[in-house]
Amino acid sequence: MRITPRKEEVSRVVAILESDGFTDADQMAKALIKEVADILAMRDWYALVHTWNSGERGLNWAPFASESEALRTAARVGIGGRYGVVKLYSPGALVANHEGKKGWPGYCQTCGHPPFTHSMAGNARGKCLLGTCDCTRLVK
């Protein structure tokens, strides 16, 4: 899996590495693992799905960082049958869209919900439209 680190992801890891809030290496390692898992959960991934020539279900592989990476891998491995790529949408983004994800790029800095949950029309412009949220202004 080829991962290209994004600037905001690197800054989150650097903040942990430079923190004085850990008493030992084990605590820091646990915090790093949790942070990286959270970061990767916010990404969309791709799966290579496969069917044998007989029509039986084949082998499925994931995750891949891009559709082209999945297809290159299939060609390199030389699997028989038919195959294609399916996009796997981020479980982290699904939860963040519902519960909020303050501090993440693309999410409201007030309530943590994505911009598409905020009204773009009339008197409600900027207000978060989720029933459980009382945010009145989208802050990027």
Helix (H) or strand (E) holding 44, with range, is none
- Supply the angle between the helices 91-99 and 25-41 in degrees, to the nearest 10: 90
- CA angle 52-68-43, nearest 5°? 105
Q: What is the pLDDT of residues 59-104, one digit of tens each?
A: 899 999 999 999 999 999 888 888 899 999 888 888 888 888 887 8
Residue 61's pLDDT is what?
Answer: 92
Q: What is the pLDDT of residues 15-68, one digit of tens each?
A: 999 999 999 999 999 999 999 999 999 899 999 999 988 988 888 999 999 999
Query: Above 80 in pLDDT, residue 1?
Result: no
Residue 20's pLDDT is what?
Answer: 94
**CA distances (Å), 7 to each of 39, 54, 72, 89, 114, in order?**
12, 46, 26, 21, 19
What is the total residue count of the chain? 140
User: Is the pTM here over 0.75, yes or no?
Assistant: no
Report whether 105 contacts 8 (CB < 8 A): yes
Q: What is the pLDDT of residues 128-140, one digit of tens each?
A: 998 889 999 999 8
Write out the two tokens for 108: 């409201």
Residue 77's pLDDT is what?
Answer: 87
C-alpha torsion sign, points 89, 92, 96, 98? positive
Residue 29's pLDDT is what?
Answer: 97
Across the beta sheet with 45-51, the strand order is 61-64, 45-51, 82-88
SS3 36: helix
